[in-house]
Amino acid sequence: MYLVVGLGNPDKKYLNTFHNMGFLCVDKLAQKLGATFSKGECKSVTAHTIVNGQKVIIAKPVTYMNLSGEALVELVNKYKIEKGNLVVVYDDIDIPMGALRIRKEGSAGTHNGMRNIVKLLGTENFVRFRVGIKKETPMALVDFVLSQITADDHAILDDVLQNAADGIAEFVNGTDIDVVMQHHNIKK
């Protein structure tokens, strides 16, 4: 069984913001896998599907970004998800816009949602797909990550989000994460 959690903020006003890369990516993943977000559980909206004989749960926490760990831990405990079968997708201000960094483990870095997840989960040993959003801007960080994505930025981000969704689909289909990393990491 796999759990894929996209990080974001649930209100409609945040739908098209940089901080919602995780939500945007898992929307693409659900569409690719033919799953529909239709179930409310564990402080999340989830979509369930079967891939290569394995159940895959795709989740969007409704706890807001900084408390994402509350929803994730509830889902991990409910479905008894092994840490090697947990994937978290999120925006990363520390890597260039359009880059994708896939890792098997690692620190939370500067991302408050990931800090909450690592703290509550008690481990850094899970797969993460980091979607780069860094660009030069005069805005404060909090204002930038909650700002609306422009059409020009969408042109860059749509490709990386699709690439991330394709990589996650391969992983939940049984492809080794090292192979997924080789095929889908994008450096800018």
Active site residues: 19
Cα 107 to chain center, whole Å?
Answer: 15
Q: Which residues lie below 8 Å from residue 99, measured CB to CB, with a gap of 6+? A: 131, 132, 160, 186, 187, 188
Rg (CA), the chain: 15
Task: Dig out the tokens for 52 from the structure.
Answer: 């290569």
